[in-house]
Amino acid sequence: MSQAARAVVQPGFDVFAIRRQFPILAECVRGKPLIYLDSAASAQKPRAVIEAMVQAMEHQYANVHRGLHWMSERTTEAFEAARDAVARFLNAPSRDEIVFTKNATEAINLVAHAYGRGVMDPAKAVLISAMEHHANIIPWQMLRDERGMELRICPITPEGELDWAAFENLLADGRVGLVAITHMSNVLGTVTPAERIARAAHEAGALVLFDGSQAAVHRRVDVQTIGADFYVFTGHKLYGPTGIGVLWARAELLERMPPFLGGGDMISSVSFERAEWARIPHKFEAGTPPILEGIGLAAAIAWVEQVGLEAIEEHERALTDFALARLSAIEGVRIFGRAQDRGGVVAFALDCAHAHDVATLLDRQGIAVRAGHHCAEPLMHVLGVGSTVRASFAAYTTRAEIEALAEAVERVRRFFA
Amino acid sequence: MTDAFADLRDLYQEVILDHGRHPRNFRRLAPPARYAKGDNPMCGDRVEVWVRLDEGERIGDAAFEGRGCAISIASASLMTETVRGKSVKEACALADAFRILVRTGRCPVCGGVHAEDLERLRPLSGVAEYPSRVKCATLAWHALEAALTGEVGATSA
């Protein structure tokens, strides 16, 4: 982190100082200053991330792990430093447990293929929840169709929390081999009780995978404290670049798992008859990895650590409380998800207008939100709604932006009433 | 109200709001009316379209049911009104012209055979500025074509 970047973050969390580090936030959309409330889909990038990637491309770039020349060695160091940064970020016991993937979706698919195919059969089950993103549903459906195991769905309460009694019941027969569950719902904002889930899963003889795509952005994740077996997240929601995700898994599991993709960089020796796999984590990283993206992710993690995850969490909690209070006071607004422990996403519907119409009218006023099923179509069925509007918050979101959202929603309602 | 919302009217003109709130021909037709449904997998919206052909293979009645945004409902409603009396070929040609209208914002055959119909549909041309919303406007039209040509389902892409 450069001295210049460090200097603009004030003690006590100055959101305006943070905003100045995001060049895109100075943009106008449809003639209005951008109000970006779609960070749960993808977060904007601070200058530190942009500059780290540009710096690499301009001054220090080559392929990694193979060159015997200066550029390759320096680039390898920078890329492998990203692995160290991620290991520290998750408090992983070892850097060798960090596997880089394309995104969180690929990380879950990796586990379904390399772990699930080896252990699942018709006598076993995978347990997910009713509030999963498609990324944590489809890979298990595909595995079920191939291996014949049962796919169990744990229901949620009307508040949008995991139905704990049902969860325990679904584990009770000991057939669940893997619990794969979100650490924070991308629709309801619900943060799931990760430690409790891991404990219950282990007591029932199951391993546990957390989809941390949302959670890792909003609060500190410690895979050892949680007691997780697998944890995945993606770079682009963490203020980093697209094209890089992370699978963390306990080394012992990674050692046992066969490779997911074959190719260069994942072997230790090759003949035309056979190959020997490289040691972990490289066994799972076939081909040229996301080098620039890794460098960008390392910069993003450094940026988040510098601002402070605890400070970000506190800031977002205040914003979320305000958003929930302000929006629910508007007549005709229905909010989905009232969990006690929740992060900075708020999904809602208007009585008089479809979510797409709301989103388009908000866009006309410079406000970016998401509308639709948010890649959680089964959850929409549970909620009994076709689609919702979702506003999501980040370190750079201000209270004034949420006020602007609320006023715009009121305006939309008058427009359609 | 008109002034306060002037900036929103380019897309949501009064005729769209009206048809969105009070869709015309929102009902089912009994067999042997032709039928097709259209799904928008992006948002879960769905319309079902029925068409009855009279002697001479002209559209005697068209109706729809469904759920969706104001754009998709208004488009379906206006469609059921404009295709009445048309031959299958004419209705398909109008559907083609309509798709160009909502993709480009411009009337493809001004002064041509569909001039009057396209003038009625022109309020929907505002979606051209919103690429993600074009499929909302075309959903019912895809279903209509599917019904007329004998396919059962259509996906608005």
**Could you give the CA distance from residue B30 to residue B24 in angstroms, rounded to a whole number?**
17
pLDDT tens profile A369-417: 999 888 888 888 888 888 899 999 999 999 999 999 999 999 999 998 8
Distance CA B122, CA A316 (A): 44
- Give the C-alpha separation, A388 to A390, whole Å: 6
Are the beta carbons of A127 and A180 closer than 8 angstroms?
Answer: yes
- The pLDDT assigned to B130 comes to 87
Q: CA of B96 to nearest chain A CA: how many angstroms apart? A: 24
Q: Do B43 and A372 touch (CB under 8 A)?
A: yes
B67 to A386: CB separation less than 8 angstroms, yes or no: yes
Average pLDDT, chain A: 94
Which residues of chain A are within 8 Å of residue B11 when distances are taken between CB atoms? 360, 364
The CATH topology of domain B6-150 is Sufe protein. Chain: A (3.90.1010)
Report chain B residues whose CB lies below 8 A from the CB of A372: 42-44
- Whether A375 is catalytic: yes
DSSP state, A165?
Answer: H
User: Alpha carbon of A107 to those of A87, A179, A244, A285: distances in Å?
Assistant: 16, 15, 10, 11
The mean pLDDT of A97-108, rounded to a whole number, is 98
Chain centroid offset of residue A129 CA = 16
Can you spell out the DSSP letters for A251-317? Answer: HHHHHHSPPSS-STTSEEEE-SS-EEEPSTTGGG--SS--HHHHHHHHHHHHHHHHH-HHHHHHHHH
Domains of chain A plus CATH, in order, are 3-44+308-411 (3.90.1150.10), 53-305 (3.40.640.10)
Torsion A414-B3-B4-B5 (CA) sign: positive
Read off the pLDDT of residues B58-100 as tens digits, 9 standing for 90 and up.
999 999 999 889 999 999 999 999 999 999 999 999 999 999 9
Q: Which stretch of DSSP H or E encloses residue B46?
A: strand B45-53
> Please, which residues bridge with residue A101 across strands?
A245
For chain B, domain boundaries: 6-150
Residue with tokens 């479809």: A354
pLDDT band at B4; cut points 50, 70, 90: low
Contact A354 B68 (CB under 8 A): yes
Q: What percent of chain A has pLDDT over 90?
A: 86
pLDDT (tens digit per residue) in A233-292: 999 999 999 999 999 999 999 999 999 998 888 888 888 888 889 999 999 999 999 999
Query: How far, in Å, are A119, A136, A142, A148 from residue A113 at the CA level?
Result: 10, 13, 10, 14
Matching residue, tokens 């490779």: A259
What is this structure's pTM? 0.91
Asked if pLDDT for residue A11 goes beyond 60, the answer is no
